[in-house]
């Protein structure tokens, strides 16, 4: 079970943003990312701040495809026509998502972009959700969340 703490940041860094802190406690980060994106990813583009973009992208995509297979299995065992349509719509969305570990140049091209904090400071992500997977300076966090809309979502994994 992942513990979730919804907090409001006392510093102006996160003003107007919903901030969540997750403790992994032995859980696999890539699996938790895939599950959280599947539950909340329809809000728009996603930026994942990581010290190892290519490695985390690879393991998260693997978990993403595993999740797709589990949902396909659920669809196959469902008898309700309406529920099958809901599952199929969700699967279509999940299959069309694009992942990237290339540092953003101007705007986020992929639906889910993995990059370092330094990459996102140079080109702040214009997205609704940011996942932070490692510790770095609060100034960088402020800079990379500066383009986020009010009520954007920042998820911090500890």
| Residue 135 located in a structural domain | yes
| Residue 143 located in a structural domain | yes
What pLDDT shows up at residue 158? 83
What pLDDT shows up at residue 3? 43
Per-residue pLDDT of the chain (158 residues; tens, 9 = 90+): 334 444 443 333 466 888 889 888 889 999 999 999 999 888 889 999 999 999 999 999 999 999 999 999 999 999 999 999 999 999 999 999 999 999 888 888 899 999 999 999 988 888 999 999 999 998 898 888 888 888 889 999 98
Which positions ≥6 away from 89 have C-beta within 8 Å? Answer: none
What pLDDT shows up at residue 14? 61
Structure tokens at 44: 């728009």
Structure tokens at 25: 């406690």
CB-count burial class (<10 Å; 0-12, 13-18, 19+) for 98: exposed
| Residue 72 located in a structural domain | no
In angstroms, the CA 36 to CA 7 distance is 17
Indicate the number of domains in the chain. 1
What's 150's domain CATH number? 3.40.50
What pLDDT shows up at residue 115? 95
pTM of the model: 0.86
In angstroms, the CA 70 to CA 55 distance is 23
| Residue 146 located in a structural domain | yes
In angstroms, the CA 108 to CA 123 distance is 9
| Residue 64 located in a structural domain | no
What pLDDT shows up at residue 48? 96
| Residue 75 located in a structural domain | no
| Residue 93 located in a structural domain | no
Residue 39 structural domain: 3-56+98-157
| Residue 50 located in a structural domain | yes
Do the Cβ atoms of 29 and 133 come closer than 8 Å?
yes
**CA 153 vs CA 74, 91, 130: distances in Å:** 29, 23, 6
């Amino acid at each position: 079970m992942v513990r979730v703490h919804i907090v409001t940041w006392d510093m102006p860094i996160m003003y107007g943003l919903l901030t969540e802190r997750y403790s992994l406690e032995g859980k696999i980060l890539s699996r938790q990312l895939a599950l959280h994106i599947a539950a909340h990813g329809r809000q728009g583009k996603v930026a994942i701040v990581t010290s190892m973009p290519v490695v985390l992208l690879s393991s998260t995509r693997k978990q993403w495809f595993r999740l797709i297979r589990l949902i396909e299995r659920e669809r196959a065992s469902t008898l309700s026509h309406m529920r099958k349509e809901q599952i199929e719509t969700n699967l279509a969305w999940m299959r069309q998502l694009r992942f990237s570990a290339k540092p953003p140049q101007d705007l986020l091209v992929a639906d889910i972009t993995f990059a370092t904090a330094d990459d996102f400071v140079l080109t702040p992500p214009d997205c609704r959700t940011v996942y932070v997977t490692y510790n770095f300076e609060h100034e960088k966090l402020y800079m990379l969340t500066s383009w986020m809309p009010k009520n954007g979502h920042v998820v911090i994994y500890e």
